[in-house]
Structure 1
Amino acid sequence: MSGLSNISSPGDVFNADLEGPDALRLLEAHRPVKLGVILVLGVMVTLGNLAVVTVISSAVPGWSRNSRYFLLSLTGADSAFGLIVMPLNLCVSLLKDYSDGPDPFCHIVAFCNATTYSTCMYTLASISLERYIAVFYPLQYSTILTRKRVVLLIAFAWIFPPVLLVPISCPKGIIEVYFSTASLVCNPSYSSNVTYSLTLTGFIFFPCSAIMTFCNLRLWFAAKRQRLKLRKRSCGGSNRSNVASRVLVPVMTIYYACWTPCMVIMIYNATSGSGVPEWVEFVAVWLPTSNGFLNCIFYFWINQSFRRKFHLLVQRLCMGFCPRVGRLLGCAMPLETAVGPGWNNKNALHERSSSVSSTCTLLTIAVETYI
C-alpha cells in the first residue's frame, strides 16, 4: 500500500512559514532530485530481479519446485515495482502540475501502487510460512503443501489485493485520490474514509507482519537450539553460529524498516487528517519500493547455491558470446565440474528433507535435527 499523506496545499508540506510561491519554488527545486531517486530505484529493482529470474527459471541446487514457485512469485511482485509502478509514477510526476487535481488516470496509478505493494507483502508472508513448514514439518511437507495448495496460495496473493483495493481505482468511489506534491505520486486520501483505510491495514499489513514475525522467530530459536547442540557435540557449531543472524535478522529488519514508516504515516493521516514534512513523506512512500531490490539480496544473493548457479550462467553466457574474452577471464570451466563433487548428493538430502526455502544455509542446520 503506497502511502500517504493528505496534503491539502503545498504549504502543508513544510511548515507554516513556507506558503504559496515560496513553497512551490522549493518543491520545484526538489523535483529533479526526487525524479532521479525514483529512476535509480526503478533501474536497480528491474536489473536485480531480471538477474534473479534468469537464475531461478532453471533448477537451482537445494530448491524444490514448490520453493521456486514461491520465489518466482516474489520476483514477479518485485519486478512490478520497476516495470509498472516506476513508469506510471514517473509519467504522473512529469505530466501533472502541482495545481492539477486527481483524474481517472491518477486513480489507476494509485490502484496499481497499492496492489503491487500488497501482493509483495502477501508473497513475503507465504515464503515465511513455506519455510516454517519445511523446517518444522519436513516429513509432512509434501502433504501439507501440495502443488494445488501452493498454486492457491500464490493465486490468493495476486488476486485478493486487487479485489480489496478496487475502490481506489474508481473516480467516484468510497475513497478519494490526490496528487501528492511531496512524493510525486497519486495517493489515496486515507482520511477521506477512515474505516476503509484501517480495514486495509487490518487485512494486509498486520496479518502479513504477524505471519512473518512468528515464522522467522520460531526458525531463529530452532537454529539457536541446534547451534547449542552442535557446540556440545563439538561438530563445528561455532563456525556456523551466525547463520540465523545473517539470514533472518536482516530479512525482518529490512521488512519492518521499509514498510513500517509507510504504514505509520498512513494510519496517522487516516486518523488525524494531517500531513507530514515533505521528505518524510517521500522517503516513507518509496521505501517499500526499495524492498523490491533488497529482497534480491536477502532472499537470493546471500544464498550460496544461487550464487553458484548465477556464476555458472554468467560463465556460460560469456563463453557463448565471446570465448576468447571468456578464457582470459577464467570462464572456461565446464558446468559439470564447477558444481563440485558430492554437491548433487548434498542437494538430494535437502530435497528429501523438504529444505526448500531460499535460505538454504539455515535450513541445512534445521534438517540435521531430523537426521
Structure 2
Amino acid sequence: MFATVSLSASDDTNHSSTDPQTLLKSHWPIKITIISVLGAMITLGNIAVIMVISSSVSGWSRNSRYFLLSLTGADSAFGLIITPLNLCVSLMKDYSDGPDFLCHIVAFFNATVYSTCMYTLATISLERYIAVFYPLVYSSLMTRRRTLLLIGFAWCFPPILLVPISFPNGIIEVHFSTASLVCNPSYSTNVGYSIALICFIFFPCSIVMTYANLCLWLAAKRQRVKMRTQHLGRLNRPNVAARVLVPVMTVYYTCWTPCMATIIYNAISGRQVPEWMEFVVVWLPTSNGFLNCIFYFWINLSFRRKFYMLFHRLCLTVCPDVAKALGCTDSLQPGIWDNNNSIPERSSSVSSTCTLITLADDTSF
C-alpha cells in the first residue's frame, strides 16, 4: 500500500516561480531516475531467482519452491507492473487534473501488489515454523493442496479487500501525487476503511512473521548454547540464525513500518508529510522486492551454486569463446553442482531452515 498526500491547490491566483507545484515538478528527473534504477534492480534480481528455482535446488522441498516462486512473483510485480505503471502515469498525467479511472486502477494495483508481498512473506514464515517445530507431521500438515491454498489466499484475499479503491466516486478518493509520482488513495477521506486495511494486512502479517522468526531464533540460540556446553566450548560454529533471521526481520520492518505509519498519520490528521519523506516512504517497500533476493536466496549456498552452474551453461551456449576466455568450462562436476535429482525430496523448510536448529551442516548457508 502507498502512503497518501493531499496536495491542496493554492488559492493565490498569482503563480510565482516559487509555486510549490513547480518546485515539486523540478525534482521529477531525479525521482524518475531513482524509480527506474530500483525497478531495473528488482527485475534483474528476480529474473536470476526464477532461473534457479524453476528447477530443483538441493535442500529445498517442493513446498518451499512453491512459496519461493510465489514470493518471486510478488517481488517481480514491483519491477514489471508497479514501476512502469506509475512512471507512465507520472509522465502522462498533469498535476492539476483531478482523480480519474486510470488513477484508481493504478492505485488498486499498487496496493494489491504491496499487500500480496506481505502476505507471501507471512506464509513463508509460517511454513518455516511448521517445518522446524513439527517435522514429524510436516508432510501431513503442509500437503500440496494446503500449500497451494495458502499461496492462493495470499494472492486473492488482498484484491478483495482493496477492490473499493478501483471505483471512481467510491468509498475512498484517489489523487495523483507529484511528491511520490504515484496515484495514492486519499486515506483521510475514509478513516475507518484505511485503518481496517492496516488491521487486516500489515498487523496480521507482522505478527505471524515476528512470532515465527522469533521462535526460530530462540530455538537456534538454545541449541547453539547446548552444543557449546556438550563440546566444552570447543565448537565454534557461525551464528546462522542471527545471520539470516535478524536481517530478514530488520529489512521487513525498515521497509514497511514508515509507509504504514504515514498512512495512519495521513488518515487521522489529513495532513501531508514533507515531499522527500513521502517519496521515500512510498517507494521504500518496493526495495524489499530486491532485498528479498539477497536474504531469501543469495545467502543460501545451494542457490548460489545452482546459479553459477546455470550462468556458466548460458555463457557457454551464447558466447562459448568469451566464456572460455573468462574461465568458464564444461567440467562443472555434476555430483557437486547439481545433485538435486539424486536426493529425495525431504520435508525441510525454505533455505534449509532446519540447519538453524541443528546447526549440523555449516555448508547449508
- Kindly state the Cα deviation for residue 3 of structure 1 after the two structures are TM-superposed: 1.7
- Relative to 1, partners in 2 of residues 1:314 and 1:193: Cα closer, same or farther, differing over 3 Å? same
1:129–1:212 Cα contact (<8 Å) kept: yes
Q: Return the offset for 1:100.
A: 1.4
Measured at CA, do residues 235 and 92 of structure 1 come closer, stay the same or move farther in structure 2, by a change above 3 Å? farther
1:303 equivalent in structure 2? 300
Distance change (3 Å), C-alpha of 1:180 and 1:316: same
Q: How does 1:35-50 map to 2 (within 5 A)?
A: 35-50=32-47
Instruction: Mark the CA change 1:345 to 1:147 in structure 2 (over 3 Å): closer, same or farther.
Output: closer
> Contact (CA 8 Å) 2:71, 2:121: kept in 1 or not?
yes
Partner of 1:5: 5
Instruction: State the match for 2:210 in structure 1.
Output: 213
Q: What is the CA RMSD across the aligned residues, in angstroms?
A: 2.3
**Structure 2 segments unaligned to the other structure (5+ residues):** 361-365
1:84: which partner in 2?
81
Aligned partners of 2:129, 2:23: CA distance in 1, in Å? 49
2:276 is aligned to: 279
Q: Aligned letter for 1:83?
A: L
Structure 1: segments with no counterpart, 5+ residues:
12-17
Q: Are 1:293 and 2:290 counterparts?
A: yes
TM-score by length of 1: 0.91
Q: 2:8 is matched by which residue type in structure 1? A: S
Q: Which residue of 1 aligns with 2:91?
A: 94
AA partner of residue 356 (structure 1): S
Give a deviation string over 1:127-184, Cα, whole Å, max 9, x none. Answer: 0000001100111101011111000000001111111100000002100001112101
Report the alpha carbon displacement of residue 99 of structure 1 after superposing the two structures with TM: 1.1
Change (3 A) 1:340 1:177: closer
Is 1:5–1:265's contact at 8 Å kept on the other side of the alignment? Answer: no
How far apart are the structure 2 equivalents of 1:287 and 1:221? 29
SS in 1 for 2:171: coil
Residue identity matched to 1:366: I
| Alpha carbons of structure 1 residues 237 and 228: separation in structure 2 relative to 1, 3 Å | farther
Q: Once superposed, which parts of structure 1, at least 4 consecutive aligned residues long, lie more than 4 Å away? A: 18-21, 235-238, 343-348
TM-score by length of 2: 0.92
Q: 1:126 aligns to what?
A: 123
1:273-316: CA deviations, max 9, x gaps? 11100000000000011110110011001111100000000111
Answer 1 or 2: which has greater helix percent: 1
Per-residue CA shift, 1:83-130, capped at 9, x if unaligned? 111111001110111211111000000000000000000000000000
Amino acid at match of 1:299: Y
d(CA) in 2 for partners of 1:140 and 1:9?
A: 61
Give the equivalent residue in structure 2 for 1:70: 67
Distance, in Å, in 2 between the alignment partners of 1:289 and 1:177 is 20
Give percent identity, aligned residues only. 67
Structure 2: distance between partners of 1:143 and 1:86 = 40
Question: Structure 1 residue 333: deviation in Å?
Answer: 4.3
CA distance in 2, matches of 1:154, 1:211: 15
The code of the aligned residue for 1:160 comes to F
- Which secondary structure does the structure 2 equivalent of 1:186 belong to? strand
Q: CA deviation at 1:325?
A: 2.5
Is 1:363 paired with 2:354? yes
The 1:80/1:19 distance shift into structure 2, 3 A limit, reads: farther
Partner in structure 1 of residue 225 of structure 2 = 228
Alignment of 1:191 with 2:188, yes or no, is yes
Q: Which amino acid aligns with 2:3?
A: G
Spell out, residue by residue over 1:339-367, the C-alpha distance to the aligned partner (whole angstroms, 9 max, x if none).
169x669965xx53x22213x2x522424
User: Are residues 1:114 and 2:111 paired?
Assistant: yes
CA contact (8 A) 2:56 2:341 kept: no
SS in 1 for 2:135: coil
